[in-house]
C-alpha cells in the first residue's frame, strides 16, 4: 500500500487543514500516516464523528482563518400532549361535570367521562370539595356532635344551674347581670341560644324556670336550612375551594348586599365538623339533580 495519498481524494476541509499544517508535498500528495494522525486528533478532542463538536471548515471565497461551524442540533418531534397536559384537560372536564352535578362520586365521574378511575382520582384533586365519598351519600342515623360543642353545652348547663340558685325565674337579663358581676362563669346568652335553639329550651334542658320567653336580638336569625343554603352557595362559588377558612372570606364578598351568617354561627347551629357540614350541603345539592 502506497504511503502517499493524492490530496484530491480527500475531503476539502481535510485537505485545507493539511495544507495549513504544511503537510502537503509539492506533488499535491500527503503521507497516509499524517491523515491517520489528523483523524485520531479529531476523534480524541472533538468527541468523535457523531458528536456536536465544531468542525473546521474553510470557505472557498475566503483564504484566511477558518471559522467554527456547529453541527445542527437534532430535536425529537413532539408526538402529542404531555401527561401533565392530559391531566389538566381531564380536570377541566371534571369541573364542567361538577357544575351540573355537585355531590357526585368519583366512580360516577369515571363512568360519565369514560376514563380510568385512577386518572379521575388524580385529576379531580383541584375540585374535590364538590365530590362525595361513597360512604357519605347517606346521612348517618345518629348525629354526632363535635367535642367542642358538647363541652360548650356542658358549660352552659352548669352556668344555668348555678344562676338559678341566685335568680328565680332565670330570665336572660338576670343571667347577663350575673355574668357581668362575675358571680357566674359561662357562655353568653347568644351562645346559649345557638346551642339550644332558644333561651326557654336551654332552661328547660336543666329544669330551670326561664321567666318570659326571649324576644330580642338573641333569637335565631337563621334556621338550620337557611344556613345550609348559604353553605351550598359558598361551595358553588368556584372562586373559593370549599375550605372552612375561606367561608368568611366569601361572606365578606356578599355581605354588602345581604346579611350572611359567620362560620361560627354555621358551626354552632348546624353542628359537627366542617366536613360534616359540607357533606350535608352536598347531599342537598345532589338531591336537586339526582331526582
pTM, two decimals, is 0.55
Query: In the predicted model, is pLDDT for residue 291 greater than 80?
Result: no
Tell me if 241 is assigned to some domain: yes
Tell me if 21 is assigned to some domain: yes
Tell me if 63 is assigned to some domain: yes
Determine the average pLDDT of the residues in 218-228: 78
Tell me if 217 is assigned to some domain: no
- Which three three-digit cell numbers place residue 290? 339526582
Tell me if 53 is assigned to some domain: yes
Strand (E) or helix (H) holding 12: helix 12-20
Q: Which long-range contacts (CB under 8 A, 24 or more apart) does 284-287 make?
A: 284/228, 284/232, 285/102, 285/103, 285/232, 285/235, 285/236, 286/101, 286/102, 286/103, 286/104, 286/132, 286/137
Q: Does one domain contain both 20 and 62?
A: yes
Q: Does one domain contain both 10 and 45?
A: yes
Q: What CATH number is attached to the domain comprising 113?
A: 1.10.10
Identify the burial level of 161 via C-beta atoms within 10 angstroms of its C-beta, where 0-12 means exposed, 13-18 middle and 19 or more buried.
middle
Quick one: pLDDT band at residue 183, thresholds 50, 70, 90?
Answer: very high
Q: Structural domain of residue 281, as residue ranges?
A: 224-290
Tell me if 219 is assigned to some domain: no
- φ and ψ at residue 235, rounded to 5 degrees: -65, -30
- 96-141 confidence digits (pLDDT tens): 999 999 999 999 999 999 999 999 999 999 999 999 999 999 877 6
Q: Does one domain contain both 151 and 132?
A: no
pLDDT for res 221: 73
Q: Does one domain contain both 104 and 161?
A: no
Q: Does one domain contain both 200 and 234?
A: no
pLDDT for res 213: 57
Tell me if 212 is assigned to some domain: no
Tell me which of 114, 136, 158 is where a domain ends: 136
DSSP codes joined into one string, 189-239: HHHHHHHHSSHHHHHHHTT----SPP-STTS-SS-HHHHHHHHHHHHH-TT
Tell me if 152 is assigned to some domain: yes
Tell me which of 92, 117, 136 is where a domain ends: 136
Give me the number of domains the chain comprises.
4
* Euclidean distance between CA atoms 202 and 5, whole angstroms: 113
Quick one: pLDDT band at residue 232, thresholds 50, 70, 90?
Answer: very high
Q: Does one domain contain both 228 and 286?
A: yes
pLDDT for res 285: 96
- 251-275 confidence digits (pLDDT tens): 999 877 788 888 888 887 787 789 9
Q: Does one domain contain both 283 and 251?
A: yes
CB of 159 closer than 8 Å to CB of 180: no
Amino acid at each position: 500500500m502506497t504511503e502517499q495519498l493524492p490530496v484530491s481524494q480527500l475531503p476539502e476541509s481535510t485537505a485545507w487543514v493539511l495544507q495549513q499544517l504544511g503537510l502537503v508535498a509539492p506533488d499535491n500528495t500527503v503521507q497516509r500516516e499524517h491523515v491517520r494522525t489528523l483523524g485520531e486528533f479529531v476523534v480524541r478532542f472533538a468527541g468523535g464523528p457523531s458528536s456536536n463538536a465544531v468542525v473546521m471548515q474553510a470557505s472557498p471565497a475566503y483564504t484566511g482563518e477558518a471559522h467554527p461551524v456547529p453541527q445542527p442540533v437534532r430535536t425529537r418531534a413532539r408526538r402529542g400532549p404531555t401527561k401533565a397536559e392530559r391531566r389538566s384537560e381531564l380536570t377541566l372536564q371534571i369541573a364542567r361535570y361538577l357544575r351540573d352535578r355537585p355531590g357526585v362520586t368519583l366512580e360516577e365521574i369515571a363512568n360519565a367521562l369514560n376514563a380510568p378511575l385512577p386518572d379521575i382520582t388524580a385529576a379531580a384533586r383541584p375540585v374535590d370539595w364538590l365530590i362525595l365519598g361513597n360512604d357519605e351519600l347517606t346521612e348517618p342515623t345518629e348525629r354526632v356532635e363535635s367535642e367542642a360543642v358538647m363541652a360548650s353545652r356542658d358549660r352552659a348547663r352548669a352556668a344555668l344551674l348555678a344562676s338559678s340558685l341566685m335568680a328565680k325565674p332565670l330570665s336572660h337579663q338576670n343571667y347577663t347581670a350575673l355574668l357581668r358581676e362575675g358571680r357566674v362563669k359561662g357562655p353568653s346568652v347568644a351562645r346559649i341560644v345557638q346551642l339550644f335553639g332558644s333561651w326557654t329550651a336551654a332552661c328547660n334542658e336543666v329544669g330551670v324556670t326561664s321567666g318570659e320567653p326571649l324576644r330580642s336580638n338573641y333569637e335565631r336569625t337563621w334556621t338550620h336550612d337557611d344556613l345550609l343554603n348559604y353553605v351550598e352557595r359558598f361551595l358553588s362559588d368556584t372562586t373559593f375551594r370549599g375550605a372552612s377558612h375561606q367561608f368568611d372570606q366569601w361572606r365578606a364578598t356578599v355581605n354588602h348586599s345581604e346579611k350572611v351568617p359567620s362560620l361560627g354561627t354555621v358551626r354552632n347551629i348546624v353542628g359537627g365538623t366542617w366536613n360534616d357540614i359540607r357533606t350535608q350541603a352536598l347531599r342537598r345539592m345532589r338531591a336537586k339533580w339526582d331526582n
